[in-house]
Structure 1
């Protein structure tokens, strides 16, 4: 009797389960990774690449200096409280709540000064608020 030696088949590597495991790991990493932290942000404001807007008759322009002083339609505002800003905005808008408010703040302006202007605008009823920015000098 002649016995044949068993033919050994070359081993196969099944890639389908391997790919499934890699996809699960990839999804897990995508969901658990933090891409940015607020402490690591490097922000330089304001600058924008936009066209110059046309002058509109129903707009109120509020300028905010780096030290927190306010100017409403080129008239200096005495004081820095929200109540004084409300009075100035009400006079500048003429009671028109459809007027646009343009906030033109210095890049080094304290955040609280901008928030005060937005709060005063809300109290007056000015809902159309825009922030002015300069174009990049390229």
Structure 2
């Protein structure tokens, strides 16, 4: 009887599953990058309030104005040095849609005059739907 010697198949690298994983990772990072543009400034620690409400979802048309403790004003990571620059940016946005929501996220230690300047620029640009962000107060144990 003649036996055939089994020659093992050459070891190969499966390319198709690796490409599937790479494309899934690519899609994941592209989707999360677009959401990160709407992230609020993490350096701003908003004040707490007993009647604060949680927003379920971020409105993509909402303009978030961050006012840091040192008075720096940012919109979508763009810094504004004075209220005239801020007004110009808001005025251009108001030309597109005056019913747009404006959310002001001011740090709890921000100077009050800086918050008034931001609110004044919003009103001067023609926005009427302006709100302030707060966080829910933590009950004392």
TM-score computed with the length of structure 2 as normaliser: 0.58
Q: Is the 8 A contact 1:61 1:102 kept in 2?
A: yes
**Offset of residue 92 of structure 1:** 4.5
Aligned to 2:78: 75
CA distance in structure 1 between the partners assigned to 2:68 and 2:95 by the alignment: 24
Structure showing greater Rg: 1
CA distance in structure 2 between the partners assigned to 1:116 and 1:97 by the alignment: 19
What are structure 1's unaligned runs of at least 5 residues? 1-44
Aligned to 1:4: none
Is 2:95 the partner of 1:97? no
Mark the CA change 1:93 to 1:74 in structure 2 (over 3 Å): closer, same or farther: farther
TM-score computed with the length of structure 1 as normaliser: 0.59
RMSD: 2.0
What are structure 2's unaligned runs of at least 5 residues? 1-45
Q: Is the 8 A contact 1:101 1:129 kept in 2?
A: yes
Aligned to 2:63: 60
Measured against aligned partners, the alpha-carbon deviations of 1:58-78 in whole angstroms (never above 9, x if no partner) come to 21110001111100133222x
4+ runs deviating over 4 angstroms: none
Measured against aligned partners, the alpha-carbon deviations of 1:71-96 in whole angstroms (never above 9, x if no partner) come to 0133222x12x211111223455631
What is the total number of aligned residue pairs between the two structures? 92
Aligned to 2:88: 87
